[in-house]
């Protein structure tokens, strides 16, 4: 069944906010940074954000297990590891959404064990009302209500990633 996505955050609004985030991240990391995108949901955000940074950047990716359907299964698994070492590096983790906080908790623990010089988190969307673990991001694009969102890299069963804007899907009765 097809569900019509309802626009929530427009492409120009996203681009404006991405520019602001990139300026803040560049200002906080004058020596440069290693950006780690969490696949697959962050790939569009990562591409736009990195092209707006004004400091040297190395780019790497991690893949973790993602949602099936519209709710978390409560379990995170690493599906693809980094190709670069991060010991002694200033690292910025780039996430699409922080929802319960379980994924971020898992990733922070794993990455901090590799002894980066610093580890900051940048997310496009934050759903603070859904948090189960009290963790937040250092750089947040937009705080949103508890809605299932798609677009701008974010999917529902692998669909809608190519929408240039963020939309939400109505939960079926
Ligand atoms: P958390 O572990 O509950 O914080 O969930 C983080 C991950 O769940 C995100 O990186 C997304 O992949 C996925 N997720 C959370 N909310 C949504 C949503 O509204 N739409 C699509 N994926 C979501």
Catalytic site positions: 99
The parent domain of residue 116 ranges over 12-148
Q: Please give the distance, rounded to the nearest whole angstrom, from the Cα atom of residue 67 to the centre of ligand 1.
A: 7
What are the two backbone dihedrals, phi and then psi, of residue 13, each rounded to the nearest 5 degrees?
-60, -40
Q: Is residue 124 part of a domain?
A: yes
Q: Is residue 23 part of a domain?
A: yes
Give the ligand 1 atom nearest the CA of 106. 2
Alpha carbon separation from 132 to 36, 114, 129 (Å, rounded) = 23, 25, 9
What residue ranges in 11-89 does DSSP mark as E strands?
A: 33-39, 57-64, 78-80
What are the two backbone dihedrals, phi and then psi, of residue 46, each rounded to the nearest 5 degrees?
-60, -45
Q: Is residue 105 part of a domain?
A: yes
How does pLDDT run along the chain (173 residues), one tens digit per residue? 467 999 999 999 999 999 999 999 999 999 999 999 999 999 999 999 999 999 999 999 999 986 554 555 567 899 999 999 999 999 999 999 999 999 999 999 999 999 999 999 999 999 999 999 999 999 999 999 999 999 999 999 999 999 999 999 987 65
Domain count for the chain, please give it. 1
* N-to-C CA span, the chain: 13
Q: Is residue 62 part of a domain?
A: yes
Q: Please give the distance, rounded to the nearest whole angstrom, from the Cα atom of residue 30 to the centre of ligand 1.
A: 31
**Which residue's CA is the closest to the ligand 1 atom numbered 3?**
100
Q: Is residue 163 part of a domain?
A: no
Q: Is residue 157 part of a domain?
A: no
Q: Please give the distance, rounded to the nearest whole angstrom, from the Cα atom of residue 31 to the centre of ligand 1.
A: 31
CATH of the domain at 32: 3.40.50.2020
């Amino acid at each position: 069944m097809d569900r019509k996505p309802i626009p929530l955050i427009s492409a120009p609004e996203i681009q404006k906010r991405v520019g602001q985030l990139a300026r803040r991240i560049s200002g906080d990391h004058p020596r440069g940074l290693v950006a780690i995108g969490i696949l697959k949901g962050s790939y569009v955000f990562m591409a736009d954000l990195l092209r707006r940074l004004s400091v040297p950047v190395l780019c790497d990716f991690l893949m973790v297990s993602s949602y099936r359907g519209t709710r978390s299964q409560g379990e995170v698994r690493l599906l693809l590891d980094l190709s670069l070492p991060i010991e002694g590096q200033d690292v910025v983790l780039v996430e699409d959404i922080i929802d319960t906080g379980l994924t971020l908790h898992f990733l922070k623990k794993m990455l901090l064990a590799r002894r980066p010089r610093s580890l900051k988190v940048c997310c496009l969307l934050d759903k603070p009302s859904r948090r189960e673990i009290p963790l937040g991001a250092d750089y947040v694009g937009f705080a949103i209500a508890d809605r299932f969102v798609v677009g701008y890299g974010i999917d529902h069963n692998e669909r809608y990633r190519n929408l240039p804007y963020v939309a939400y899907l109505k939960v079926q009765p």
